[in-house]
Amino acid sequence: MLDKNALKKAFPVILLTIVVAISVNLLSFADRLTRPQIEAQQQLKIQNLLTGMFPDMSRYDFKNDIYTIYSDGAKIGYAFIAVGKGYGGDIDILVGLEDDTTIKGISIVSHSETPGLGSRITESFFTNQFAGLSIDEVALKRDGGEVDAITGSTISSRAVINAVRETAMEKVKQLDGSE
């Protein structure tokens, strides 16, 4: 038999449990409500970046972390996400390949580099340098490559460049293996 005193002592615990239970239910409801929208937003973002890179794209496939780009049924290229270790954290870069050796273009999907310095990796004067380069040309000019670093942001520049080159080599190997 529960006496009144024990009930009084247990009340805070019971109340907290009820509050947490209500909160869990509300949150899973909110999650179910917003999930399709959030996924659609991410899909839309990738799609916009891909059409920016491959203006002729009519549709794309996503398999084994590689986007295969088609234009009217013909394969016109590949794209994938490369992850670089930047100054402020991971840099996600969408890399497009025209064929096994040539870069179609890159664009920065997300990053947390210093505003005004490293964050300039998103600007076109930097990313445009990659279009048309062959994969082994993707290196800083001072390292024998073809890419100019951003003044004052060598770490961020190098993080992007290395991630693009290394991931591209890896993906090309993967593509060669699968065909």
Partner 1 sequence: MGNFMKEFAKGLIITNPVFVLALGLCPTLAVTTSINNALGMTLAVLIVLLGANTIVAAIRNFVPSITRIPIFIVVIASLVTMVDLLFAANFPDLHEALGIFLPLVVVNCIILGRAEAFASKNPILHSVADALGITVGFMLALLMISSIRQTLGTGSLSVFGFHFFTLPILGKQPIAILVLPAGAFLVIGLLLALFRRTGVMKSD
Binding site for partner 1 (CB under 8 A): 11-13, 15-16, 19-20, 23, 26-27, 30-31, 33-34, 37-38, 41, 45, 110, 112, 114-117
Determine contact, residues 86/111, Cβ cutoff 8 Å.
yes
Question: For partner 1, which is the closer residue by CB, 16 or 169?
Answer: 16
Tell me the C-alpha to C-alpha distance, in Å, between residue 160 and each of 10, 49, 96, 125, 173: 57, 17, 14, 14, 20
Nearer to partner 1, 133 or 156 (CB): 156
- DSSP letter string over 56-72? T--EEEEETTEEEEEET
CB 64 within 8 A of CB 174: yes
Shortest reach from residue 32's CB to partner 1, in Å: 10
Instruction: For the chain, give the number of residues.
Output: 179
Q: Minimum Å distance from CB 118 to partner 1?
A: 11
Q: Tell the smallest beta-carbon distance from residue 25 to partner 1 (Å).
A: 10
CB of 87 to partner 1, least distance (A): 13
Strands of 74-85's sheet in order across? 59-63, 66-71, 74-85, 90-97, 103-110
At residue 113, the 3 state secondary structure works out as coil
Q: Which is nearer to partner 1, 78 or 113 (CB)?
A: 113
Closest contact distance (angstroms) between CB of 37 and partner 1 is 4
The nearer residue to partner 1, 20 or 169, going by C-beta atoms, is 20
Residue 117 has which token pair? 């310095």
Residue closer to partner 1 (CB basis): 17 or 58: 17
Task: Give 122 or 129: the residue with its C-beta nearer to partner 1.
Answer: 122
Task: In angstroms, give the least distance from the CB of 83 to partner 1.
Answer: 17
Spatial distance between the Cα atoms of 124 and 23, rounded to a whole number of angstroms: 45
* CA pair distance 24, 94, nearest whole angstrom: 36
